């Protein structure tokens, strides 16, 4: 793309999908045979686009008999997610198990801790209420922080900023979900002598939108180099079921419906994709602003937010820090 042309997602994310599927398949087989010495792949399927495409790529790489799918719902998972997961497993012809992690989460105190915070922030919180946390600040040049949004049984919405200790507690408790799921993935990987597939896309991987030792943990990450827009396009190229190709990205982690954009990215994924692409290609903020229909200052704030999230989450993907030799 020359600097004289306006930024275009179509041009930015153009890819030879057939060739890319072959390339990823070859890399997965290579990783399994020579680096990991494992016989197949375990994929936890959420019903969303990323895990669906990752599972489909795994099947293209090693065939359906060597891919084990896991659906790991908990108390607040949408039934639609499990439905889409089953649909995908059937479509791909893979063995798939549904395992409810809610009892494990209950025993670990996950739900009780979340409810404690909700009650502290919204004193009337109780049966019939729903909650989610929403990111604010970064795109307006303020520090990023989270609000707890709660819906009471009458449908009324209550919002309040989470203070430091409340924020840490709700995140720590919620992270049990991703970590318990990963424990189950590795249980099956160990018993089958398979490797675990991690399913972050490039936007998530770059911006640290994953839980350390939770969904961030894996042996291979087949789509961590692909923008989410490319993941959607790949799903369509691989003729995955329409319900999956058209699924709106959600976190499926809080009891109140929560988009990934409001939870973490601030902008819808297609705009964040283009922003990250523009940032990585040293495009001036004004050109990004033009493409997104926002001011150059607002686009600059998006760039600053990309940098801030990279800095704040760098340790999530890093190897443990070892002490320098004496």
> How many Å separate Cα 271 from the centre of its chain?
16
* Residues contacting other proteins: total by CB under 8 A: 18
Site string for other proteins, 166-205 (x = CB under 8 A): -xx-------------------------------------
Least separation in angstroms between residue 304's CB and other proteins is: 9
Q: Contact between 64 and other proteins (CB under 8 A)? A: no
Among 123, 128, 143, 322, binds other proteins (CB under 8 A): 143
Residue 144, φ and ψ in degrees, nearest 5? -65, 135
Widest distance between CA atoms in the chain: 64
Burial group, residue 165, by CB count within 10 angstroms (0-12, 13-18, 19+): exposed
- CB nearer to other proteins: pick between 86 and 212: 212
Least separation in angstroms between residue 260's CB and other proteins is: 18
- CB nearer to other proteins: pick between 48 and 138: 138
Least separation in angstroms between residue 16's CB and other proteins is: 39
Sign of CA dihedral 222, 225, 226, 227: positive
Give the number of other Cβ atoms within 10 Å of residue 289's Cβ: 20
Q: Contact between 164 and other proteins (CB under 8 A)? A: yes
Q: Contact between 142 and other proteins (CB under 8 A)? A: yes
**Of 269, 264, 262, the residue nearest 228 (C-alpha):** 269
260, HSE (Cβ side, Cα atoms, 13 Å)? 24
- Where on the chain is the footprint of other proteins (CB under 8 A)? 136-138, 141-145, 161-165, 167-168, 308, 311-312
């Amino acid at each position: 793309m020359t600097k004289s042309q306006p930024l275009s997602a179509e041009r930015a994310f153009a890819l030879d999908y057939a060739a890319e599927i072959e390339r990823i398949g070859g890399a997965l087989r290579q990783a399994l045979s020579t680096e990991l010495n494992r016989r197949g792949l375990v994929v936890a399927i959420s019903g969303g686009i990323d895990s669906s495409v990752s599972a489909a790529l795994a099947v293209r790489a090693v065939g359906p008999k060597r891919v084990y799918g896991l659906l790991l719902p908990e108390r607040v998972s949408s039934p639609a997610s499990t439905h889409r997961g089953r649909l995908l497993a059937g479509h791909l012809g893979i063995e798939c198990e549904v395992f409810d992690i809610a009892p494990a989460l209950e025993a670990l105190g996950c739900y009780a801790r979340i409810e404690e915070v909700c009650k502290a922030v919204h004193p009337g919180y109780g049966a019939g209420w729903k909650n989610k946390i929403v990111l604010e600040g970064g795109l307006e040049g303020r520090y990023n922080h989270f609000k707890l949004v709660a819906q009471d049984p009458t449908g009324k919405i209550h919002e309040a900023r989470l203070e430091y200790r409340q924020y840490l507690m709700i995140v720590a408790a919620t992270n049990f979900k991703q970590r318990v799921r990963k424990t189950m993935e590795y249980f099956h990987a160990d018993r089958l002598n398979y490797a675990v597939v991690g399913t972050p896309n490039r936007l998530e991987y770059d911006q640290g939108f994953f839980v350390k030792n939770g969904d961030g943990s894996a042996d291979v990450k087949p789509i961590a180099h692909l923008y989410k827009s490319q993941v959607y396009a790949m799903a369509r190229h691989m003729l995955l079921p329409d319900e999956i190709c058209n699924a709106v990205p959600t976190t499926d982690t809080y009891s109140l419906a929560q988009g990934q954009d409001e939870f973490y990215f601030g902008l819808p994924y297609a705009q964040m994709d283009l922003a990250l692409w523009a940032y990585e290609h040293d495009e001036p903020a004004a050109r990004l602003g033009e493409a997104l229909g926002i001011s150059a200052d607002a686009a600059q704030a998006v760039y600053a937010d990309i940098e801030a999230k990279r800095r704040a989450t760098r340790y999530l993907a890093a190897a443990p820090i070892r002490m320098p030799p004496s």
